[in-house]
Amino acid sequence: MTRFYYSERVWLQAALLLLAAIPATLVARELDARTINDINVWIKPLKFYTSTALHLVTMAVLVWFLSDKARSARWLSVMAGVSAFAAVVEIAVIAAQAGRGVASHFNYSTQLDTLIYSFMGVGVLVVTIPALVIGVWFLRTPVTEKLTPGLKLGAGLGLTLGFLLTLVIAGYMSAQPGGHWVGGPRTDLGGVPLVGWSREGGDLRVPHFFATHLMQALPLVGYAADKIFRLDAKTAKRAVWIAAGVGLAVAVGTFVQALNGQPVIG
């Protein structure tokens, strides 16, 4: 029987807690007509419930492929517990700001809101730093029967490259007093379905999305190369490197596009 260690359990439990809040938030969206940036106040919490839960599940699933010794390490348990707690608090703050009817991000309207936004920036780092640590661990750990070559490289590159690109792009975006819009109207109304990206100007959330989701995309490429297509180790790793190059190009390209005030989809 597969054993789940503390780090995996706490990340999965935190993810389930966030997902469990979605039904009540959907009801709140129907009953509450208030808006922020011209869209319902509960849209942002819904997005963050989903994206943060996906990140936590990703961490739990990837750690499972490490050795039992690594999975049971005290340092990993502590890091997982702290990051899971920070994730829940972070999302609770976003929901609380929505409940107040004010923006959680780029909100400098009062000293309290400025403090909250600064606090959230620290929280995001606490949530995401484990990706860098575990990504480096994957790159350094040997190949095993469970941790096959493509998956090992995909997880290592995905977590480290995804973290570093996200740190740069999200760090730049968070420092912009005007928010994520560049050269277009400051509204989220009429954006790209589901994601909400602006269709009338640059939107820094686009490269943020592609950078962050390298953490899921590259491990999936590596896993598929090993387990589905059953490629040899050299070819599987080449597939991961190619995917990493494409992902990097897309993230950087959409970042430059956003800085030039151009929408990714007009």
Do the domain assignments include residue 261? yes
Range of 175's domain?
A: 153-266
pLDDT exceeds 70 at position 198: yes
- Where do we find the tokens 């999965």? 12
Both 162 and 244 in one domain: the answer is yes
> Of 107, 141, 175, which residue sits at a domain end?
141
- The verdict on 47 and 162 lying in the same domain is no
Burial of 88: CB neighbours in 10 Å, binned 0-12, 13-18, 19+: buried
Task: Give pLDDT, residue 177.
Answer: 87
- How confident is residue 36, by pLDDT bands cut at 50, 70 and 90? very high
Q: Is the pLDDT of residue 75 over 70?
A: yes
Mean pLDDT over the full length of the chain: 96
- 189 and 75 belong to one structural domain: no
Residue 146 lies in a domain: no
88 and 202 share one domain: no
Same domain, 29 and 85: yes
Q: CA-to-CA distance for 95 and 167, rounded, in angstroms?
A: 23
Kindly state whether residue 147 falls inside one of the protein's structural domains.
no
For the segment 78-103, what is each residue's pLDDT rounded down to a tens digit? 999 999 999 999 999 999 999 999 99
- Comparing 57-66, 174-183, 239-248, the range with the smallest average pLDDT is 174-183
What's the mean pLDDT in 113-126? Answer: 96
Strand pairing class (39-40; 181-182): unpaired
Query: pLDDT tens across 200-246, in order?
Result: 999 999 999 999 999 999 999 999 999 999 999 999 999 999 999 99
Look up the pTM and report it.
0.96
Among 103, 119, 141, residue at a domain's last position: 141
pLDDT at 159: 98
Asked if the structure places residue 206 within a domain, the reply is: yes
Q: Is residue 161 included in any domain, yes or no?
A: yes
- Which H helix or E strand runs over 202? strand 202-203
Tell me how far apart the alpha carbons of residues 64 and 265 are, in angstroms, rounded to a whole number.
38
**Do residues 98 and 219 both lie within one domain?**
no
pLDDT of residue 266: 80
For 256, residues 6+ apart whose C-beta sits below 8 A from its C-beta are none
Residues 100 and 29 in one domain: yes
Domain membership flag for residue 148: no
Q: Is the pLDDT of residue 149 over 80?
A: yes
Same domain, 86 and 118: yes
Query: Is the same domain home to 105 and 236?
Result: no
Clarify whether residues 89 and 202 are in a common domain.
no
Tally of domains within the chain: 2
Same domain, 261 and 177: yes
Q: Percent of the chain scored above 70 by pLDDT?
A: 99
Whether residue 25 is found in the same domain as residue 112: yes
Query: What is the pLDDT confidence band of residue 1, given thresholds at 50, 70 and 90?
Result: low
- Final residue of a domain: which of 117, 141, 165? 141
